[in-house]
């Protein structure tokens, strides 16, 4: 299928790569189908593009690259809804906000996107009673030195 994206252009996506969000996501309850598109091989960053809405693209990140102590517990209902098990472990992504100064980008650790990529089903979960916020800095000390030399 062809998906239109104002950020990424026309995308030729196999139907089996569509991820279902049965409950939508907060703020976009009617958007129930997305595709996950890695930014680059081996990058923790990816784009999450809505299938039906060309203007809805999120930059997401696998948080453990930046926050090795990030952990939370999913309640049984979410685990059941997403059909998670020892054989179908969740993959976690968080939405990134990129301000004018890219080195000040933040990530929403309070509401992770939990995906069962085996069954292509996902949900954004708002955590309770955790020390996380919606705006954790990815690079609290600015970009790493290697990135600065690369012209960023």
Q: Please name which of 131, 86, 89 lies closest in space to residue 114, comparing C-alpha atoms.
A: 89
Chain segment 84-120, per-residue pLDDT in tens: 999 999 999 999 999 999 889 999 999 999 999 999 9
pLDDT at 152: 44
Domain that holds residue 58: 2-149
Q: Please name which of 78, 113, 74 lies closest in space to residue 95, comparing C-alpha atoms.
A: 113
Instruction: Name beta bridge partners: 25.
Output: 28
Cα–Cα distance, 119 to 83 (Å, whole number) = 8
Q: Total domain count for the chain?
A: 1
CATH code for position 75: 2.30.290.10
User: Tokens 């969740």 correspond to what residue?
Assistant: 90
Chain segment 116-132, per-residue pLDDT in tens: 999 999 999 999 999 99
Q: Which helix (H) or strand (E) holds 2?
A: strand 2-5
pTM of the model: 0.90
Q: Please name which of 91, 99, 127 lies closest in space to residue 19, comparing C-alpha atoms.
A: 91
């Amino acid at each position: 299928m062809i998906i239109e994206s104002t950020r990424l252009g026309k995308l030729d996506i196999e139907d089996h790569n569509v991820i279902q969000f049965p409950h939508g996501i907060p703020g976009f309850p009617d958007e129930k189908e997305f595709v996950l598109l890695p930014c680059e091989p081996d990058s923790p960053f990816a784009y999450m593009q809505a299938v039906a809405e060309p203007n809805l693209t999120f930059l997401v990140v696998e948080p453990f690259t930046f926050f090795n102590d990030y952990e939370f517990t999913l309640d049984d209902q979410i685990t059941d809804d997403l059909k998670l098990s020892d054989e179908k472990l969740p993959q976690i992504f968080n939405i990134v906000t990129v301000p004018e100064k890219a080195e000040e980008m933040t990530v929403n650790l309070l509401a992770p996107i939990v995906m069962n990529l085996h069954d292509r089903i996902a949900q954004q979960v708002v955590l309770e009673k955790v020390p996380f916020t919606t705006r954790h800095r990815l690079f609290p000390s600015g970009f790493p030195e290697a990135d600065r030399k690369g012209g960023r």
